[in-house]
Structure 1
Amino acid sequence: MSLHERRSELRAADSKYYSVQFTAKGLDAFYQFKLWNVSPKGMCILVKEQSEVLNHLSVGDTLEMTYYLADSPGTSENQKTQIKHITKNENGRFSGHYLIGLSII
């Protein structure tokens, strides 16, 4: 797992998507996460530090992900997505979690 801080712009509160689902090489299951910290160039998911999925993600990885639309429940779009940053959140509300930055490419 490679950790780098890559956020460079302010975050926005709204998004076309509500959640994302994906799997990675070596995982036997799909993982679904609510999207957080949306910006014009990307968004984040919040992953518990003990989650197995962290062992299968690195900055720069490109994965096919399924995004669920915020204003159309049950509707999804598949998008090629790059992992932009993996940042440990040590304080506050999300202590014990990692923010995984995503960017649709």
Structure 2
Amino acid sequence: MEKENNSENEDLRTQLRTAAADGASVEFTFPGSVMVYQFPLRDWTYTGLGILARQDSKILDHIQEGQIFSVTLRREGIRLSLEAYRVEIRHISDPEQGRHPGHKVIGLSILEKEAVL
């Protein structure tokens, strides 16, 4: 059973990732909080989003792998694009050696698309 799960994770990691455009970010808030968190989008696939958070960010005290919540993906360009998703935190990890020093990579698995309010 464990091997099957590892195989699934390897399949997800090998998906073609698209680098995020300048200004693309992911925003979210937690129930009962007035604080809106916004993080730069690092990359994305059709099944997930990768965001960057500073290693000293307080958000790391409030999130954990397996947590499910809603996010808004903001993409700026000729016109602002907003998309809402229900996501699950798949991993919180160090970036590749030499890339994004002082940051953590947070991998979000897209569970479903939601209506933008």
TM-score when normalising by structure 1: 0.75
Deviation by residue 1:1-39 (Cα, 9 ceiling, x = unmatched): xxxxx56214422569x2210123575511111211222
Larger Rg: 2
Identity of aligned residues (%): 32
Cα-to-partner distance string for 1:23-76 (whole Å, 9 max, x where unaligned): 235755111112112223212110001000001111110011111135531x42
Number of positions where the alignment pairs a residue of Structure 1 with one of Structure 2:
99
Gaps of 5+ in 2: 1-8, 112-117
User: Relative contact order (C-alpha < 8 Å, sep 6+): which is higher?
Assistant: 1
1:40 corresponding residue in structure 2: 46
Equivalent-residue separation in structure 2 for 1:66 and 1:54 (angstroms): 19
Question: Which amino acid in 1 is paired with 2:63?
Answer: L
Q: Larger helix proportion, structure 1 or 2?
A: 2
Root-mean-square deviation (CA, aligned residues, Å) is: 2.7
Matched, 1:65 2:71: yes
Gaps of 5+ in 1: 1-5
- What is the rounded CA distance, in whole Å, between the counterparts of 1:79 and 1:28 in structure 2? 19
